[in-house]
Each structure stands twice: as structure tokens, then as C-alpha cells.
Amino acid sequence: GNSVTQMEGPVTLSEEAFLTINCTYTATGYPSLFWYVQYPGEGLQLLLKATKADDKGSNKGFEATYRKETTSFHLEKGSVQVSDSAVYFCALSPRDTPLVFGKGTRLSVIA
Amino acid sequence: DTAVSQTPKYLVTQMGNDKSIKCEQNLGHDTMYWYKQDSKKFLKIMFSYNNKELIINETVPNRFSPKSPDKAHLNLHINSLELGDSAVYFCASSQDPPAGGRETQYFGPGTRLLVL
């Protein structure tokens, strides 16, 4: 079946620290991979995506690379800000089926 | 202008009641979805409609009934509410049906339902 496993939170970092949130997946075929972000009190927003192996998605300083050999799509940012505090969801989209989300990782960035 | 809007934002009600949540999108998308997010933030698809037709119906109690009067609206009616229905419900839309990630989904702000 299709599933996404992401690291348990919460993750607490100081401002300007390096961020990694791990995400691994199992899927049939070749899915697209996504990171969504949910800021407090809001709905989910697409942060970045990658549609094939070795693609790198990037947005707002965040990056993730689609690694087929390790079935991973880890989210990274070189220097986090307080405004990055949110819940981050890794998701995959197998062909013709809806998004499958991980359980979310809460990030808190302190000044 | 809000792309995907939901009403109400908060809903507190008693067990056994019937309630509806409304969703509207002004993006001109053909496909709409309902998701449920539980207290642990786990997000799961419930339904999806494409051009007013049901295309995805996950294992959801039949107390939940979606209704799509037109492409821009997908409402969720819940009968005989139970304590376990307490959650945040998100509406979303995309231009195309799920097709291997070619579509991006746009989410509404959520409706926080609390059943007492």
C-alpha cells in the first residue's frame, strides 16, 4: 500500500538553526511527493513538490530532493525563522488516488 | 479574495444533532475534497467530487453525506453527531482529479467541530 512516515515532533529550534524533517514513503509505482505547511489556525498550503526521482523542490528557503533509492523526501532549511513555526506534512500522490499524508511534524522556532 | 472558504469556522454542538459545513471555491477548479484532521493532526481524505460527481469515497460512516450543488461548492452534512466526530474538517480543491500529483490542492482554513 501507500504510506508516508515522517519524524515525530515536536521539533524545537533556535532561530537561524539548520532544519531537517525526515520523510520516507512506500508506494506502488512512481508517485509525486509534496511538503505542505499548516500555520497556526490556518489550512494547509503547498510548500514544495517533486514529481520524479532526483527532482529537487524548493520554496521560501526550504528544499527537498526526491530520492528513489532511499524512498525519502527529507525537508531542509539552512536557517529557520520564528515565522517558520508551523506543522509540516509530507505527502505522496500515487497515480489516480488522493494524497496520502504523513502524521505531521510540529516545528517551533524560538528567538 | 479567499480562494477556498468554509463556514462555519467553529461549530460546537451536542451529540445526536445534525449539522452541515459549507465549502466554496472561487478558483474555477473542477475537483473538491473533504479531509478530516484528528486531535493528533493526522489528516485523512473523506470524499472527493469532480464536476459534481463523487469520485472518491473512503471508509466513512454513512452519517456523513457530501453534497455538491455545483462545481464551486461541496457541502458536508453530518447526521447523529458522535463524540468521535470532533475534529477539524478541511475542504480543498484542485483543477484536475488526483492524477499522480500533477494537480496542486488548495485548502480552506478548516472548520473546528466539537461534539459535546
**Across the interface, do A98 and B48 touch by the CB < 8 Å criterion?**
yes
3-state SS assignment for residue B53: strand
Q: How many CB atoms lie within 10 A of CB A6?
A: 23
pLDDT tens for each residue of chain B, 116 residues long = 668 999 999 999 999 999 999 999 999 998 999 999 988 878 888 988 888 888 877 878 899 999 999 999 999 999 999 999 999 999 999 887 766 556 788 999 999 999 99
Binding-site residues on chain B for chain A (CB distance < 8 A): 4, 33, 40-45, 48, 56, 90, 92, 97-102, 104-110
**Across the interface, do B102 and A45 touch by the CB < 8 Å criterion?**
no
CA distance A1 to chain B (A): 15
Q: What's residue A74's pLDDT?
A: 98
Q: Could you say which of B4, B101, B110 has the minimum Cβ distance to residue A49?
A: B101
| Interface test mutation site (partner A, options B9, B27, B40, B105, max chain A beta carbons within 10 A) | B105
Q: What's residue B21's pLDDT?
A: 97
Q: What is d(CA B80, CA B16) in angstroms, rounded to the nearest whole number?
A: 4
Q: What's residue A9's pLDDT?
A: 83
| Interface test mutation site (partner B, options A4, A25, A44, max chain B beta carbons within 10 A) | A44
Write the pLDDT tens digit of every residue in A65-108.
999 999 999 999 999 999 999 999 999 887 767 788 999 999 99
- The cell 445534525 sits on which residue? B18
Show residues of chain B in contact with A89, CB under 8 Å. Answer: 43
Beta bridge partners of B93: B32, B106
Q: What is d(CA B103, CA B93) in angstroms, rounded to the nearest whole number?
A: 10
Q: Could you say which of A32, A89, A92 has the minimum Cβ distance to residue B43?
A: A89
Taking Cα atoms as reference points, which of A29, A44, A33 lies closest to residue A88? A44
